[in-house]
Structures are given as C-alpha cells and as structure tokens.
Amino acid sequence: MHSLLNLWPFVSRQQRRIGMAFVVALVASLLWGLAMLLAFPVTKVLLEQQSLADYVDAEIQTARSEIAKQSARIARQDDLLAQWPQPNPQPDSKYVEALRDRARCQATLSAATRREWWFVQLQSWLMPYVPEDRFDTLALLFGLLLVVTVLHGGAVYLQEIWIGQVVQLSMRSLRARLFRRTLRLDAQTLAVEGTAALMSRFTNDLAGIAQGLTLLGGKIVLEPLKAGICLASAFAVNWRLTLLSLVCAPLAALLFQHFGSRLKRASRRQMETVARLYQVLQETFASFRVVTAFGNPRHHRLRLYRENRSYYRKAMQISRIDAAVNPTVELLGVTAACLAILPGAYLVLRQETGIAGVRLTDLEMDLASLALLYSLLGGILDPARKLSSAFSRLKKASAACGRVFDWMHRTTLVPEAETADRTVRHSVSLEFDRVTFRYHGGGQPARHAVLQDVSLTIPFGEVVAIVGGNGSGKSTLAGLLPRFYDPQEGSVRIDGIDIRSMTLRELRQQIGWVPQESMLFDGTVADNIAVGCPGATREQIEAAARLAHVWDFASAWPQGLDSPIGDGGNRLSGGQRQRIAVARAMLRDPAVLILDEATSAIDAHSEFLIQSALKEYCTNRTTLVITHLLTDALLEFVTRVVVLDQGRLLAVGTHAQLLATCPPYAALYQAHQARRAA
C-alpha cells in the first residue's frame, strides 16, 4: 500500500474538498450509528410491549435502588476495613478480598450513577416529545429511521461527489506529470519500453489508480468510520462482550496481509499482459494493409489468442484470491458476532451478570440491550463486508500505482547539463571526436557498437552527404547531434563546445530535422508546419509552405493551409506529407539541418521539388543529408560525402574524389546508376 502514498502530492492540492468529504463521511457514519441504535427502542416497544416513558421511569428507579444498595454495601465495607487491624507488610487474603469487594461495589455504583444521569436527561429533554401510545411511538421511531436513512444517503452522495472531483483533478495532474516526465526521457528508453506498454500505463494503469483513489476517498474512509461508530457504541453498551468479538481481529489482519501480497503480484502480472495485448492490437491495426495484403490474419488471431489466454489465466488468479476474501470476512464476522451474542444470550436467559465467575456486565442485561448489541455488531459486519469487496481493487490500484511511478522515476540516458554553457548560434564547425556508440539493451545482453571510433569535422555552411549501406550507422551518427542519445565514448561538439554542456532546449533550437517517415499530427496543414516553431506568425507559416512547395497543393483546397490532414496525415500522399515535414524544419530557421532519408520513399516529382527547395535553403547553415544513394540533383549542392561501413568511417571527400579512391562508394554509386538506367 505504500506505493499509493506517492499520490499524496497530487491529492494534497484538493485539501478543501477532501476536508468537506471527510466531514460529510463523518456525518454519514453518525447517522448510520443512530440507525443502529434505534433497534433498542423498537425492541422495547414491539417485543417487550413497554412504552418508552415507562421504561425510562423504571430504569431511573432501578438505578437509584442500585445506587442505594451499593452505597450501603460500601459503607459496610468501609466500617469493616476501618476495624481491621493495621496490615502487615504482607496483608492476609481476607483483607485483600475485602478491598476487592469494595472496588467491585464502587464500580457498580459508578455505573448505576452514570445510568441514572443519562436516563434523567432523557426524561427531561426527550420524553416530553415521545407519544404515550406504543403504536404512535413505533410509528415515530420508523419515521425517524426513514429521515435518518434519507440524510445518510444525502451525506454519502455529497461525499462521492466531492471525492469524484478530488479523484478527477488529481488524475488530471498525474496524467500531465506522467506525460511531462515521459517527454523528458530519451528516445532509446521510449523505444525499449514500446508504445504499447506506454499506452497501457496511460490508460489501463491510470484507470486502476483512479478506481483506487475513489475507493480510498469513499469506502475506505466511510466504512471504517461507520464500523468505528458502531464499535464505540457497542463498547458503551457492554465493553466486555464487545471485546470478546474482537479476538478474531489478529487472524483477520494476517489473512488480509497474505491475500494482499498475492493480489498485488497477480495484478502487476495482469497489467503486463494488458500491455502485450495492446502491442498485438497496435501492430495489427497499424499494419492492417500488410495483414490483408499477405492474406495472413490467422497469424495475428493466434497472437491475440495467446495473449488473451495469458490474460485469462492472470485474471483468474485474481478472481480466485478475490473470491476467497469475501467468504473469509463473512465467516470471521459471524464468528465474532457469535462470540459476543452467545454469552450475552446466556446472561439474558439466566438473569446473570457473569459466566463461570467472570463478570461480563455490571447490571443484568435485558432483551432490548442484547438486540442493540446484536444490531451494532451487524453494523460493524456490513462495512467489513463492503471493505472486503474493495480490497482486491485497492490492491490492483496499488500495483498500477507502482508501475506508473516506476516509470516516472525512470532516469533518462540523456541527462540535462547541470551547469550549462551559454550557447550562441552555430557558426564555426561540427565535430565528432572518436565517437563510439551502442544502443541500450533494455535488460538484454549488450549489443555491438553501431558507431566505432568515428572522428569527423564539418565546417559551418557545408552540405555533407552521409552514405552507406543499411545498418552502417548513418542515422545514428546524425541522431547524436540533437542528443537523441549520447555516445558511450568520445564527444560531439558544436563550435568547440561539448553538446552535453548545453541545455537540451538551446541545443535543439538550432537543429531542424526531417525524418524518413514524415511524422505528422492530427490537425491542419498549418498546425503541422507550426510544430517547428509554435510562436510563428501566419505570414511565416505561409512563407515556409511556399518555400517547401506545400502551397502548390494546399492552395487548391477550399480551406487551404487550414485543411485537416487526418490521423498521421492519412489524407495526404507520401510526397505531400514529406513536403510538410520539410516546411516544418524550414520554419524553424535552424543553424543545422538534418535530412534523414527525406526523399527515399516519395515520387520523382516530389523529390525534385524538395531537392530544389533545399538547394536554395541550405546556404548559411550546415546540412547533413543521410542517404544510401546520391542523385544528380543532390550532387549539385553537396560539398562533401562521408562514407560509413559497419559503424566505421570509411572515407571523406568530394564525389569525384571518392569515385576514384573509395571502391565501396564507387560500387554503391554505380549500382544506383545501373538501377536508374534499367
């Protein structure tokens, strides 16, 4: 349960609502206790056929008789003790027994005095308003019960409303904090975790936490208060019999601890299975065209079937544990009630005050007192049963909370600089100094180095093409500049400053990035262009759209740049999406522009338009063009070519130099030319 304490910083902001909810919960508990106490007068009127006024008068007379009787006995005991010889250091047993008798008489006298005071107060303040006729009194009692029930329901309603506000506002803050902390992590950590697992945390786990918070503010507060009121009232009726009913409490605590630990483990495993279910669904729906094109939906159905079966097994583990909790609580509750009621019934039927010499009551109990005690113990059992039904959900919430806060406490592999150097706009050079990098394994065995001892200097204003085969490390090398990840060895410097000593914000403000897959968001064309510079004016957005040839197709639409593009830009062609991605980078006016296979998956016309726009745009900035093949249009403005092979820097030079001195590059270029000719 300690994991739920992590929620306090989010919940504590709603202290006023929490206080109001607690007050109405306390009122509801008092009303619940009052409803249980009404069993006593009902029993008196209905079963014993005695009016309440006669009962109060009789109790006052009985208490006064008992006071007189015990006062006389105490006086006799005092006289006897006064005549007793001065005790020795070790007094005899008769003297000790006399002292005990006097103490018992004093206890009985005190109880009778308190009883007389209470009934005198009832006679003075309440009895004038109670009808003398027994049926009228019974009708009044049931009317009072109805009013109490209505007020209790209203208090519970208000409590749930305020707790609902606390839960939703707290979850809003937690969801925002979780999202903020996730965005501060590095790309590697998110890739290892996976989108499906993250979605599971943001949906299933947060829903479980919300349910747990609702229980904590609702039943977990209200039901113990109701049980506490009834327990205190039961102690007031007869504390000895009530204490007998609590002998099962230690056993109940041990059982709940055992069930709780098993539930939490099972719930955590179930949530991990939910994440895998999300992964199957996400992959299938995201690749729906591939699934249908290859005519192999059966494979995906089998994957879902396996994960469904695993989820079923985990869910049944929780159901079995949960199913054992309610009968256990009910058995312990009935046992506790029997431990109090059976001795009480013996005292009533035999008109005794104790059993086997053990005193269980100061005065003789009547049927109404026993019925009241039974009602109060029933008032404890009902909240206990409701708490047991909430127990499994609270443990699930605890497991969900642990998963969410484990992720929130995850440290990034790309830490922010503690003391950042002041950054000016890049104007000198980019340097990769003996860089070695390998991807984080995410708990798996260490992977081989993607980049090995790479050293490269790029003067400001150059357009450098980074070429190589698949897996050669081209994108990884460029990804080190915006610190998507940090090298394990070596350093990357901009104008001689290690980028790890810059703030991530200032570093990334200087970089524009156009990925191979144009990652667009659900919104308008203008919204997606403005992602590169959220504060841009409409004129700046239109200028970027014209420069990247977005205006060519957007201007023909009725809404122009305000046209919605759908989820991920699914209403656009590949070339249109890529031009928007280029416009987004251009609007940023970066000092460093990274084009990561930006034209590899689009048609020739779109490629020509993008490359013509880039040829004009790349002046007065450093540009890295990651590609596995160089077109003639690119070669017109590329100043140097960097060749990578298996993570190592193979050669650096102009296109003409590398054709003459680097056979792998020459073979790559000739293969591309042959493919174009074919």
Q: How far apart are CA 165 and CA 171, in angstroms?
A: 10
Q: Residues 261, 390: one domain? A: yes
Over 90: is that where the pLDDT of 432 sits?
yes
Mean pLDDT for all residues in the chain: 82
CATH number of the domain residue 524 falls in: 3.40.50.300
Q: Residues 569, 599: one domain? A: no
Q: According to the model, what pLDDT value does residue 356 have? A: 66
Tokens encoding 102: 């006097």
Would you say the C-alpha torsion 165, 168, 174, 177 has a positive or negative sign? negative
Q: According to the model, what pLDDT value does residue 494 have? A: 92
- Decide: 219 and 390 in contact? Cβ < 8 Å: yes
Can you state the angle between helices 219-245 and 297-350, rounded to 10 degrees?
Answer: 40
Give the pairing type, strands 592-596 and 622-626. parallel
- Decide: 400 and 213 in contact? Cβ < 8 Å: no
Q: Residues 572, 600: one domain? A: no
Q: How far apart are CA 638 and CA 368, in angstroms?
A: 100
- Decide: 238 and 344 in contact? Cβ < 8 Å: yes
Q: Residues 578, 612: one domain? A: no
pLDDT in tens, 69-122: 888 888 887 777 777 666 555 556 777 777 788 888 888 888 888 888 888 887
**Burial degree of 513 (CB within 10 A; 0-12, 13-18, 19+):** buried
Query: Which amino acid, residue 621?
Result: R
* End-of-domain residue from the set 589, 620, 649: 589
Q: According to the model, what pLDDT value does residue 442 have? A: 59
Residue 94 belongs to some domain of the structure: no
Other Cβ atoms less than 10 A from the Cβ of 169: the count is 15
Q: Residues 384, 292: one domain? A: yes
Total count of domains within the chain: 3
pLDDT in tens, 249-262: 677 667 766 676 77
Tokens encoding 167: 């839960």
* End-of-domain residue from the set 539, 561, 589: 589
Question: pTM of whole model > 0.85?
Answer: no
Confidence of residue 372 (pLDDT cuts 50, 70, 90): confident
Q: According to the model, what pLDDT value does residue 87 have? A: 55
* End-of-domain residue from the set 536, 568, 589: 589
Would you say the C-alpha torsion 618, 620, 621, 622 has a positive or negative sign? positive
Q: Residues 537, 641: one domain? A: no
* Proportion of the chain above pLDDT 90, given as a percent: 12
pLDDT in tens, 522-533: 889 998 888 878
Tokens encoding 589: 């006016």
Q: Residues 442, 504: one domain? A: yes
Q: Residues 289, 191: one domain? A: yes
Q: According to the model, what pLDDT value does residue 253 have? A: 67
Contacts of 582 (CB under 8 A, 6+ apart): 514, 548, 598, 610, 613, 614
Q: How far apart are CA 356 and CA 1, in angstroms?
A: 44
pLDDT in tens, 311-328: 788 777 777 777 777 677
Q: Residues 340, 477: one domain? A: no
Residue 504: give the domain boundaries: 429-510+592-677
Largest CA distance in the chain: 132
Residue 179 belongs to some domain of the structure: yes
Residue 80 belongs to some domain of the structure: no
Q: How large is the average pLDDT for residues 614-637?
A: 83
Over 60: is that where the pLDDT of 426 sits?
yes
